[in-house]
Structure 1
C-alpha cells in the first residue's frame, strides 16, 4: 500500500501512532527518490564527459530534451527536496492538530507531486542510457551503470536488514508493493514493475521516445534476447553485490512480457538457497561456500 493511503487507513482506524509512522515513511521515500534520480543522472552525465572524448553533457541533454516527444522530461528542474521537507512538516502539524482531512489531503498531494518528479527522473535516466548505448554500445552501458549503481552492497547482511533495505528501495517508486513470504524467501510481486515496467507500458520504447532496447543474450539482459535499457540497472546491482559479497542483494525474475506481466523480485533468507542459475545468467559462478544467515 502507498504510504499516503496507509496513512489514511490508519487515521480511519483511529491509530494515530501508526499514522505518524506513515508520514515519516512518506517523507523518507520522496526524499530518497529525488536524491537517487538526481545522483543517477549526474553520474551518467559525468561518465560521458570523462569517457567519451569529444562529447559533453550539453550534447546529451540537447538530445534527450525533446519535450514534444517526451514532455515528462521537462518541468521544474529545481531541487524539490526543501519544499517537500516543509510540506512534510505541515503534514505533521495537521496530524498533531487533529485535522485528519488536511493531513490526508496534503499527504496525497505530496505523493502525487513526488510521482511527477519520479517519472521525470526515470524518463531522463532512460534517455541518457539510450544515448550512451547508441554511442558506446553495451560495454558503455555496463561501465556507466556500474558507476551509477555502485554503493555499499549488503548481500552478506542479515535477512531482516536486507528485507528492510529492499522494501524501502522498492517503495521509493511510490507504488503499492505486494509482499509474500514463505520459508525460503520474500517475494515482491508488483502487478507491473513500478519503474521499468511502467515505462514499457507507457510506450517509452516506441515512437516518439524510442528509448533503446539492449540486444542480447548478455549478462545485462539476464541472458535474454533483449531487455529495455533502463531495466539493465537490475543485473548491474546483482553483479556488483555478488562481486563484493558473494551474494546478490536481490534476485529479479523478469516477466515473459515485460511491462504487461508481473516481474518478481526474490529475497532469499539463506544465501546458500539461491539457485545457481541466478549467478550463471550473469556470467558468474555461485560460490561453493556461503556464510549462512541465521537471522530471521
Structure 2
C-alpha cells in the first residue's frame, strides 16, 4: 500500500509540474536513469532505497521491481507528481518534501537522484549531507542535465531578452537572472566535493543523441521541464509572444530530417559515490 507523508516545515516547489507532459518521450527520459542504475556498485541487495525527485514514479517503480525486498521511498515536492507516482509505484512509500530540507527517515543503502540537483541552488551541502547519511557501503547515484551551452537554452533566454513587439524584455528581471544562474559544477568540481578517504567517486558525462518524432518535438521536450519557470513566470500575453518567436527559432536550430525525425543532442553528468 502506498502512503504519502508531508514532511513538516517543507513547502511545495515554486515551479509547476505536469506529469503528463513529463511522460512524453519516456524511453529517452528513462535511458540515463537506467544507465546510472547499472553502474551502482551494491555488494548486497539494499534494504532502504530513496528516489529523490521521484516525479511521476516511473523510476520508483523500476526500483521497487529491481529490489523487491527493499523499503523504497519516493520523495518529491510536487503534489501532482506524487499523485501520479502513487498509481505508478504502488509498492513505494511516498513523501512530499523540498530537497533542501529533506532528511532520510532511515539510513539508506541507496539514494537515487535522477535529473534533480540542477534545479537546486547551492546543493553542495545537500550532496555531502546525503553521503554522510548513507548506511555503511551505501551509494548515492545522481545524474543531471548539462544544458546552459545548448541551442534550446540559449534561444530560450535570448527570446526573453529580445522580448515581444517593441523589444521590451519578457518577464521580470529576476526570472531572466535565475534562468542564467547555473547551479551545477563540472565533473572535477563534484569529484573535489565528494571524493575522500571514506568515499569513492565515479563521475562522468555522456551526450545522448535522441531521435525525436512528432511535430515540434524539441518544444515538446523542453515544455515538460526546462521551460517550466518561463511558463510560470510570464503572463498569458507574454507567453504567447514568447512562444511565437521561440518556436520559430527552435525549428531553425533543430530542423527535421527528410524522414521527419529530429536529432536532439543532450548531455548529462553522472556521479556515483560509494561510502566505504
TM-score, length basis structure 1: 0.27
More helix by share: 1
More strand by share: 2
Higher normalized contact order (CA 8 Å, seq sep 6+, divided by chain length)? 2
